[in-house]
Amino acid sequence: MNKHALRRADEETFYAVGVDLGGTKISAAVIDRGGQILQQHVMPTLAGQADVMPRVAEAVETVWSRFAAESGGARIRGIGIGTAGQVEWETGTIRYASDLIPGYTGTRVKSLLEERFGVPVYVDNDVNALALTEKYLGAGRNAKTFVCLALGTGVGGAVMTGGRIMHGAWGSAGEIGHLSVDYKGRPCICGNVGCLEQYASGTSIANLMNERLQAAGLAGTRAPLSAKETADLWLAGDPLAGDAMNEAIAALGSAVASLIHLFNPEAVVIGGGVAACGEPLFRRLREEVRRRAMPSMFAGVTIEPACGGGMSGAIGAALQVWEYAHE
Ligand SMILES: [Zn+2]
């Protein structure tokens, strides 16, 4: 916990609770309008072992009650949830969630939490929530139109156009992980082939590396490696890791070039574990995108890391309370 980020509550202003709900952990925070954290709590999701909504309610209850005790009753304006799965945005219902969180599909997240806590609740996809963190605290301070990619276990995406998140017909626009970069490529869980997620997620980078080790007859001595180990080997000059990362970066570069052509953004922001490779990755990626994008459209586009931090999902989730307050 970053103690320097914790502020004392001001009774005259409003605060919001944000929750980032993933397959592994639930992160909750109370923040102010400026995105500063006043309370935070992280707990395991226990997906498949416990019902998810009581866990989410417990996370909200924990940060809210601590905040109430410390602030002398300062007001919580609402709750924002950034969640795994596809969210029917207006109703705050999970239209589809993978087996990462068994039984979650169909959950009425918004109405369940509004009944329980008696304040407005806003529910969106976790990467859309991250894009709000970028809007207020990161890339969005210099750009009204930008694209976010989160390269983690899978690949998530969000599109911000003219300062507003693009939700599509019911909330699932921006599934960039399932943008195909190869129509004859690797099969994907979604039914398509060649999806970006099959090359640029942490899981896929590890697969790309382990396949090469296998082909080189080295699997017995070195495999299976993680994405982090692959990236470390790449940075140390290992040729097989270099080859695996070249494939991941080519796929990512192809997707980013298409996103630039589609949305004419000012910035492309990339977060998640894979982005922790830092500048060597970004330098190679910019070069890859420059070769693939129309020069007129590539000119002036920044490709940069997300503003980051372990609580940025929860912060963005809470920022929904102000972003959508008048809708
Ligand atoms: Zn797919």
Beta bridge partners of 299: none
Asked whether residue 126 carries a pLDDT value surpassing 50, the answer given is yes
Tokens representing residue 94 in the block: 């999970």
Average pLDDT of span 75-94: 96
Give the relative orientation of helices 279-292 and 227-235 as an angle to the nearest 10 degrees: 90
Asked whether residue 326 carries a pLDDT value surpassing 80, the answer given is no
Tokens representing residue 57 in the block: 């309610």
Question: Are the beta carbons of 31 and 82 closer than 8 angstroms?
Answer: no
The string of pLDDT tens digits covering residues 154-209 is 999 999 999 999 999 999 999 999 999 999 999 999 999 999 999 999 999 999 99
Ligand 1 centroid from CA 61, angstroms:
36
pLDDT of residue 134: 96
Q: Are strands 121-125 and 75-83 parallel, antiparallel or unpaired?
A: parallel
Ligand 1 centroid from CA 122, angstroms:
27
pLDDT of residue 4: 42
Ligand 1 centroid from CA 76, angstroms:
39
Ligand 1 centroid from CA 154, angstroms:
10
Ligand 1 centroid from CA 264, angstroms:
23
Distance CA 262, CA 109 (A): 32
pLDDT of residue 129: 97
* Strand intervals (E) in the chain: 14-21, 25-31, 37-44, 75-83, 86-88, 93-96, 121-125, 146-151, 155-161, 164-165, 267-271, 302-305
Tokens representing residue 165 in the block: 């998140």
Give the relative orientation of helices 227-235 and 239-263 as an angle to the nearest 10 degrees: 100
Ligand 1 centroid from CA 158, angstroms:
16
Ligand 1 centroid from CA 278, angstroms:
26
Ligand 1 centroid from CA 180, angstroms:
7
Asked whether residue 6 carries a pLDDT value surpassing 50, the answer given is no
SS3 label, residue 276: helix
Ligand 1 centroid from CA 129, angstroms:
21
User: What number of other Cβ atoms are within 10 A of residue 272's Cβ?
Assistant: 23
Asked whether residue 5 carries a pLDDT value surpassing 50, the answer given is no
The string of pLDDT tens digits covering residues 21-55 is 998 999 999 999 999 999 999 999 998 898 999 99
Q: What is the mean pLDDT of the chain?
A: 93
State which amino acid sits at residue 319: L
Ligand 1 centroid from CA 29, angstroms:
32
Asked whether residue 256 carries a pLDDT value surpassing 90, the answer given is yes
Name every residue whose Cβ is closer than 8 Å to that of residue 168 and which is 6 or more positions away in sequence: 174
Asked whether residue 109 carries a pLDDT value surpassing 90, the answer given is yes
Asked whether residue 311 carries a pLDDT value surpassing 50, the answer given is yes
Average pLDDT of span 249-267: 98
Average pLDDT of span 123-131: 97
Ligand 1 centroid from CA 10, angstroms:
46
User: Judging by beta carbons within 10 Å of its beta carbon (0-12, 13-18, 19+), is residue 176 exposed, middle or buried?
Assistant: buried
User: What is the number of residues in the chain?
Assistant: 327
Average pLDDT of span 220-249: 93
Ligand 1 centroid from CA 49, angstroms:
27
Closest by CA position to 64, among listed 78, 45, 52: 78
Ligand 1 centroid from CA 194, angstroms:
7
The distance from CA 5 to its chain's CA centroid, rounded to whole angstroms, is 21
Q: What percent of the chain has pLDDT over 90?
A: 85
H-only helix segments in 264-311: 279-292, 295-298
pLDDT of residue 237: 97
Ligand 1 centroid from CA 191, angstroms:
6
pLDDT of residue 327: 60
pLDDT of residue 12: 56
Ligand 1 centroid from CA 197, angstroms:
7
User: Judging by beta carbons within 10 Å of its beta carbon (0-12, 13-18, 19+), is residue 327 exposed, middle or buried?
Assistant: exposed
Ligand 1 centroid from CA 98, angstroms:
13
**Per-residue confidence at 325, pLDDT binned at 50, 70, 90?**
confident
Tokens representing residue 220 in the block: 């017995």
Where do we find the tokens 């304006």? 77
The string of pLDDT tens digits covering residues 286-303 is 999 999 999 999 999 999
Distance CA 32, CA 322 (A): 10
Average pLDDT of span 241-256: 98
Tokens representing residue 64 in the block: 């809210």
Average pLDDT of span 112-133: 97
pLDDT of residue 7: 53
SS3 label, residue 117: helix
Give the burial string for 202-237 (b: 16+ CB within 10 Å, else e): bbbbbbbbbebbeeeeeeeebeebebebbbebbeee
Ligand 1 centroid from CA 195, angstroms:
5
Ligand 1 centroid from CA 198, angstroms:
7
